[in-house]
Amino acid sequence: MATQRKPEGHSFASIVLVCVIFGALAILVFVPVNVFETVRAVEQNSIRNWLGNEADQWVMLRIFDVLRITNQEATKSIGELALSGNHKIDSWLVQRVYATLVWVHLVAYRSGVLLMWAAFGVPVLLAAIYDGYMRREISKTNFSSQSPMLHKSGIDVFRAAIALMVAWLLIPWHTSMLVAPTGFFTIGAAAWLWISNAPKRM
């Protein structure tokens, strides 16, 4: 007698994607323009105060092409929106396009900061993954049992850290610049916990 398969739930990636889409739409519609401008200026000043102008210039050079293309598209969109004829609608749409432009600048800048920290975070992440794998291989030679609870905790923390990193890139509120290195460290620790406690027989 064939066993009935349980319906599979939504994947973690699909849930994150849906949250990002609806969250982005809500931000674009409801968040005032001055909030985007303030956060963008504070984020850049924070990097300058912590790491100096050289770090800010490094980030800006990495995202220059993105900002240039975004500015061109925003200018084109504003020109087309001004032809609708309804002043109130045109004014609101122009504000939303400008808010989107500043928001893209903010996301691009944070992405550049994330890339900067990746020079330190990626080696730590790879080392944690390798150490976790080797510990799992060593555990195969002894009689110690793996911990399903720690394995599941590692997966849960890993997913939560990824989701928070995505949220950090998108939210139009000022956060500490330490989010990026903390995120890399948390993802590495979670990956180590996940892999080192994986079942001996996969």
pLDDT tens string 23-79: 778 887 788 888 888 988 888 888 888 888 888 888 888 888 877 887 777 777 666
The dihedral formed by the CA atoms of 27, 31, 37 and 42, expressed in degrees to the nearest 10 = -80
Helix, strand, or coil here: 119? helix
The mean pLDDT value of the chain amounts to 81
pLDDT, tens digit (0-9, with 9 covering 90-100), for 129-188: 999 888 888 887 776 677 788 888 889 999 899 988 888 888 888 888 888 899 999 999
Q: What is the pTM of this model?
A: 0.76
| End-to-end alpha carbon distance in the chain | 26
- Cβ pair 114, 180 in contact under 8 A: yes
Can you give the pLDDT at residue 1? 43
List Cβ<8 Å contacts ≥24 apart for 138-143: 139/196, 139/200, 140/200
Compute the distance between CA of residue 119 and CA of residue 202 in angstroms, rounded to an integer: 32
Can you give the pLDDT at residue 158? 92
